[in-house]
Amino acid sequence: MASSKVRTPFIMLKSIHAALGTNLYCPGLLVAVLAAGSLSALTPSPSSRLGHDEIEGTIRWDARSAEHLLNRAGFGASSEEIAGTVEAGLEATVKKLIERAKEGDLPFFAQRLSPRDGLMREERMEAKSMEMDAATFKEDNFEMIKELRDRDGEQLDRFLNWWVTRMRRGDNPLGERMTLFWHGWFTSSYRDVKSSFEMIEQNKVFRTYGLGKFRELVVGIAKDPAMLEYLDNDSNRRKRPNENFARELMELFTLGEGNYTEQDVKEAARAFTGWRDKHGKFEFVERLHDRRKKTVLGQTGKFGGEEVIGILLEQEACSRYLAKRMIGYFEGVEPNEGRLEDYARFLMATEYDIAQVLEKLFLDPEFYRDEVVGTRIAGPLDFLVGSTRRLMIEPPARAIRLGSAALGQRLLDPPNVRGWEGGEAWVTTGTLMMRSNLVGSYLGLVDTREELSDRDRAMRALRRANWGPNLNFSALLERADIVRDAEIVEYMLESLFAVPPTAESRAVAMNFLESVRAEAGLGDGELLDAGEDSELWLRRLAHIVLSLPEANLN
Amino acid sequence: MRHPIHRRTLLRGALGLAGLSLSQRLSLGALISEDELADAGTLVILQLSGGNDGLSTVIPFADDAYAAARRSTRFAQDEVLGLDDYLGLHPELQHIRSEFESGRAAIVQGVGYSNPNRSHFKSMDIWHSASPDGRAVKSGWVGRLSEALSTTGYNPERVVHIGGSLPYSLHSKSSPAVSFVQPDNYRWVGNEPEMNDVADQLGSDSNSESSGGAIGHLRGVMRDAAASSRRIRSAAAQYETHVDYPGGELARSLRTAAALIKSELGCRVVSLEQTGFDTHQGQRVVHTRLMSQLDAALRAFQADLAGSAAGRKTVILAFSEFGRRIVENGSNGTDHGTAGPMFLLGPSVSGGLHGAHPSLTDRDGDDLIFHTDFRSVYATVIEKHFGVDSAGVLGGSYAQLPLLG
């Protein structure tokens, strides 16, 4: 069979084998097409290889389910990465994703640069000792604050580019996914914290504890300087308790609304008194701490913050809240009661081991059911990072994150303490068009100088970088002998959509190729014979495909 | 010289144009009824984001407590634009003062809600959803108003937001708003014919409503985008006015709003935002610049609107998520506070001061105490301007105020 199918483009197999339910996999061909791009970290070693269409348990492990896993656990994948993942098998892939994420990465090195980081104190002392007059000091002070703010903003930009680059490269897909997940859960905003150092350190907390025990993560966040600032625990004192952190800790971080009383909030707040941010370091100030008895959720004692966190995590409500939100995030729909109960119990039994619950979820046949696969509206980062991964292009990280911000997802600046709302709210008429135009600019099709206003910051970033994509669709297709309209359209739809295309979308793509061919006087099968024009048509086709409704689902 | 494109003209043109696809003709045929068009008065909602300092906008210059609380941000009697012997407007609000004198500017004082929230986001959510529960109610008050108005047929431009992120007030599952930043960029670049083609196909099979879920939602957004992009861009591109607008984002957006309103596309609500009111530091300079931009932009906008019937039926409503603290902070600014003034402008507005200025001495800590619930203002607009039952939109009855004739 293999020899007779040698000219069949492997990318098309995804739909064909899905339709026929047969194993049409052909490794020799894979190698040929893979030569066009680099191998991802996920590409398996030969020994771990399982049959392409092998069914593990009740999960049908094929390109569609593999792509689903890579979309949700990471930020999407190219066709070749998907093929490699299918080959590796489900269990090996999940294991690898988790192991890689637990292994972690070298952290971003951040400096204290903000006026909030305590840098001004020495200067103030110096000014005082020099007996500088008030007006001069004020002027100096103002200049210095401004300079520090600028430098702090630059460090923030560098960090964000680093982060987005990591999402785009996909060396540690699940690690980056979980970092974003926890950033949306334990939100803090640079706008309020005003210190890039603290925001970067908080990000490190997600990276360090994000796949470990939830308790360590919650404690880490409760002591995290950025969080201490963001939710005002820094000013939570024995004599004037500030309940902001205690409330959100219960409402959004652990229990969910309705599972505690106002009195619980007040009592818990007292347990966190004296937890402060000392210029980017956690500090416990004994004299500001309320050492008296507290009663939280029925338990009484002279609790400190960590003990309260312990009490919260003992609650069944906490395990249910975590299960519901995690499954809701990864599946896009909330779990039914049976699964919720199952996952909540599992969390309790494993002492909230995040890696174990992720493993359970990714190996759960329910995770791969039709209601879940390809039915979630992709957020801005999922859409932009995912599209560039599927296209195998790497536009400047800055253009991706500014594009994402324009679409409503600005990293380290969530809209409020609840994080990003997600779902349908991501897409408005204006942002739907903007998504298309951003992808068009990444494809080098939208003239960033002429066609859109220079007030668009993502476009400006591309222009400054002299951006043009390193793409050669025509050579890629030629090599794989994908030459007829129907095959080319199938290739594009398969490699750029996470869901099967609708009839309308296929028709639009077909019409486009037919019309450009007709105009150039070429027959079906000759589309790749027009040199530069061919490449331009193929890029335009990719642009059209990524602008269709299905491109916004994953 | 002005050449607004009227929807009637569009309709007539569409029926006579052979170049349009069947679905285009069908979708145009399903547009709003002439009834909605006939009464259509647009509400322009101007959101002053960040917490506008009410005490520097409507200034109680004669109050000793004001003088005591404000040092760097204080305006003296000879600086303000006097409204009476106690209050004056910010020196830059010359246009608003002249509208006030002509009886076309209503200043509603002491507006807020109980248990004031000092978080920008939470307070804005409360204003947007018209509920203390914020987004938990799952829709915005304008969204619900739009749903009430939507019985008149398919009209994607019924609610338009000009600016970046869509305010939650416009949120509605069944009657979503369209939004864009600049009309000339409100389009598909590089693939527009194909996208319009797709949208047409989606438009023609949308009657069956076969596709639900996320894909159904996306198809709906795409159809609205294609339909409104064509109309909004051509309205804006063909718009000419004798009025000279000042520079800046707000004025630019208001000019676009004028183009939409005068073209009678059927916009019932246009939403815009002016940002930068979170003046914790060096407030005086920043706030004065904002007031100057606001006043100049509104002056041009209202002069522009005055030239047409649709314009004269327009009401402008300005609000902010909260006022600011009575007492200045240590960095020549003010922190998040509570009650503040709202403004209504337009020929149909019953001008003047509505309600007393909140007391600066009988106060809650360092904050003003509100006396008028913001939902009373919403209720008045919903009933008087739109003729819609406000209790249905607001989820409760609120006393109406004599703000609209």
Structure confidence by residue, pLDDT tens digits, A25-45: 333 343 344 434 333 444 444
Q: What type of residue is A83?
A: A
Q: Which of A408, A431, A436 sits opposite B188 (nearest CB)?
A: A436
Q: Which of B166, B190, B213 sits opposite A543 (nearest CB)?
A: B190
> What's the pLDDT score for residue A455?
62
Question: Which residues in A lie closer than 8 A to residue B178 (C-beta atoms)?
Answer: 428-430
Q: What type of residue is A188?
A: S
* pLDDT tens, residue by residue, B36-48: 554 669 999 999 9
Rounded to a whole number of angstroms, the distance from the CA of A434 to the nearest CA of chain B is: 8
Question: Domain holding B281: CATH number?
Answer: 3.40.720.10
The closest alpha carbon to A352, from A314, A378, A384, A387, belongs to: A314
Q: What type of residue is A360?
A: K
Considering Cα of A541, then A543, then A544, then A550, what sign does the dihedral take? positive
* pLDDT tens, residue by residue, B258-317: 999 999 889 999 999 999 998 888 899 999 999 999 999 999 999 999 989 999 999 999
Q: Within an 8 Å CB–CB cutoff, is residue B166 touching chain A?
A: yes
Q: In the 3-class helix/strand/coil scheme, how is A192-243 assigned residue by residue? A: HHCCHHHHHHHHHHHHHHCCCEHHHHHHHHHCCHHHHHHCCHHHCCCCCCCC
CB atoms within 10 A of CB B135: 20
Coil/strand/helix, residue A186? coil
- Which tokens go with B177? 């708003």
* pLDDT tens, residue by residue, A173-222: 999 999 999 999 999 999 889 999 999 999 999 999 999 999 999 999 99
* pLDDT tens, residue by residue, A126-176: 767 777 777 777 777 778 888 899 999 999 999 999 999 999 999 999 999
How confident is the model over B77-100, as a mean pLDDT? 97
Q: Which of B171, B189, B197 sits opposite A440 (nearest CB)?
A: B189
Does the beta-carbon distance from A433 to B187 stay under 8 Å?
Answer: yes
Mean pLDDT of chain A: 88
Residue partners of A457: CB distance under 8 A and separation at least 6: A402, A405, A406
* pLDDT tens, residue by residue, B210-258: 456 888 889 889 999 999 998 999 999 999 999 999 999 999 999 999 9
Coil/strand/helix, residue A461? helix
In this predicted model, which residue has the larger pLDDT, A346 or A418? A346
Does the beta-carbon distance from A547 to B178 stay under 8 Å?
Answer: no
Identify any residues that bridge with A55 across adjacent strands, giving them in sequence order: A60
* pLDDT tens, residue by residue, A85-124: 999 999 999 999 999 999 999 999 999 999 888 877 766 6
Query: Between A429-442 and A457-464, two packed helices, what is the crossing angle to 10 degrees?
Result: 0
Q: Which of residues 196-215 of B touch A (CB under 8 A)?
A: 197-198, 201-202, 205, 213-215
Q: Which of B125, B137, B188 to mutate to test the interface with A (most CBs of A within 10 A)?
A: B188
Does the beta-carbon distance from B224 to A552 stay under 8 Å?
Answer: no
Chain A residue closest to B139 (CA)? A425
> CA B327, CA B55: separation in Å to the nearest integer?
10
Q: Within an 8 Å CB–CB cutoff, is residue B243 touching chain A?
A: no
Q: Which of residues 333-362 of B touch A (CB under 8 A)?
A: none
> What's the pLDDT score for residue B214?
86
Question: Which residues in B lie closer than 8 A to residue A539 (C-beta atoms)?
Answer: none
Q: Within a domain: residue B211?
A: no
User: What confidence tier does A417 reach under pLDDT thresholds 50, 70, 90?
Assistant: confident
> What's the pLDDT score for residue B17?
33
- Which tokens go with B90? 């910010």
CB atoms within 10 A of CB B267: 25
Q: Percent of chain B, pLDDT > 90?
A: 69
How confident is the model over A508-512, as a mean pLDDT? 93
Coil/strand/helix, residue A374? coil
Of A277-291, B207-221, B361-375, the range with the lowest mean pLDDT is B207-221
Q: Is the pLDDT of residue A24 over 50?
A: no
Rounded to a whole number of angstroms, the distance from the CA of B265 to the nearest CA of chain A is: 17
User: What confidence tier does A364 reach under pLDDT thresholds 50, 70, 90?
Assistant: very high
Question: Which residues in B lie closer than 8 A to residue A502 (C-beta atoms)?
Answer: 215
Q: Is the pLDDT of residue A51 over 90?
A: no
Does the beta-carbon distance from A429 to B182 stay under 8 Å?
Answer: no
Q: Within a domain: residue B251?
A: yes
Query: Between B192-205 and B22-29, two packed helices, what is the crossing angle to 10 degrees?
Result: 60
Q: Which of B138, B173, B191 to mutate to test the interface with A (most CBs of A within 10 A)?
A: B191
Q: Within an 8 Å CB–CB cutoff, is residue B330 touching chain A?
A: no
User: What confidence tier does A450 reach under pLDDT thresholds 50, 70, 90?
Assistant: low
> What's the pLDDT score for residue A130?
72
In terms of DSSP bridges, do strands A281-284 and A275-278 run parallel, antiparallel, or are they unpaired?
antiparallel
Q: Within an 8 Å CB–CB cutoff, is residue B182 touching chain A?
A: yes
How confident is the model over B156-170, as a mean pLDDT? 92
Inter-chain Cβ pairs, chain A and chain B, closer than 8 A: 121
Cα dihedral: B137, B143, B147, B153 (round 10): -150
Query: Which secondary-structure segment (H or E) carries A300?
Result: strand A299-301
Does the beta-carbon distance from B217 to A453 stay under 8 Å?
Answer: no
Q: Percent of chain A, pLDDT > 90?
A: 72
Q: Which of B166, B184, B185, B223 to mutate to test the interface with A (most CBs of A within 10 A)?
A: B185
**Full DSSP string of A394-446:** ---HHHHHHHHHHTT--TT--SSTT----GGGG--HHHHHHHHHHHHHHTT-S
- Which tokens go with B105? 């500017």
Identify any residues that bridge with B105 across adjacent strands, giving them in sequence order: B345
- Which tokens go with B45? 């909602």
Q: Report the number of distinct structural domains present in chain B.
A: 1
Under DSSP, the state recorded for A1 is -
Q: In the 3-class helix/strand/coil scheme, how is chain B assigned residue by residue? A: CCCCCCHHHHHHHHHHCCCCCHHHHHHHHCCCCHHHHHHCCCEEEEEECCCCCHHHCEECCCCHHHHHHCCCCCCCCCCCEECCCCCEECCCCHHHHHHHHCCCEEEEEEEECCCCCCCHHHHHHHHHHCCCCHHHHCCCHHHHHHHHHHHHCCCCCCEEEECCCCCHHHCCCCCCCEEECCHHHCCCCCCHHHHHHHHHHHHHHHHHCCCCHHHHHHHHHHHHHHHHHHHHHHHHHCCCCCCCCCCCHHHHHHHHHHHHHHCCCCCCEEEEEECCCCCCCCHHHHHHHHHHHHHHHHHHHHHHHCCCHHHHCCEEEEEECCCECCCCCCCCCCCECCCEEEEEECCCECCEEECCCCCCCCCECCECCCCEEHHHHHHHHHHHHCCCCHHHHHCCCCCCCCCEC
Q: Is the pLDDT of residue A57 over 50?
A: yes
Cα B109 to Cα B54, B273, B363, distances in angstroms: 9, 21, 15
Question: Which residues in B lie closer than 8 A to residue A425 (C-beta atoms)?
Answer: 171
> CA B396, CA B154: separation in Å to the nearest integer?
28
Please say whether the beta carbons of B170 and B152 come within 8 A. no
> CA A444, CA A395: separation in Å to the nearest integer?
10
Does the beta-carbon distance from A508 to B179 stay under 8 Å?
Answer: no
The parent domain of residue B184 ranges over 41-188+246-394
Q: Within an 8 Å CB–CB cutoff, is residue B278 touching chain A?
A: no
Q: Is the pLDDT of residue A454 over 80?
A: no
Q: Which of A416, A421, A429, A462 to mutate to test the interface with B (most CBs of B within 10 A)?
A: A429
Rounded to a whole number of angstroms, the distance from the CA of B22 to the nearest CA of chain A is: 17
Q: Is the pLDDT of residue A55 over 90?
A: no
**Full DSSP string of A253-292:** IIS-TTSS-HHHHHHHHHHTTTEEEETTEEEE-GGGS--S
Q: Which of A377, A453, A543 sits opposite B214 (nearest CB)?
A: A377
> CA A71, CA A359: separation in Å to the nearest integer?
15
Question: Which residues in A lie closer than 8 A to residue B225 (C-beta atoms)?
Answer: 429-430, 432-433
Question: Which residues in A lie closer than 8 A to residue B219 (C-beta atoms)?
Answer: 549
Q: Which of A421, A430, A456 sits opposite B186 (nearest CB)?
A: A430
Does the beta-carbon distance from B219 to A549 stay under 8 Å?
Answer: yes
The closest alpha carbon to A323, from A303, A292, A350, belongs to: A350
Residue partners of A158: CB distance under 8 A and separation at least 6: none
How confident is the model over B346-361, as a mean pLDDT? 97
Question: Which residues in B lie closer than 8 A to residue A416 (C-beta atoms)?
Answer: 119, 121-122, 125
**φ, ψ at A231 (rounded to 5°):** -105, 25
Q: Euclidean distance between the first and final Cα of chain A, in Å? A: 33
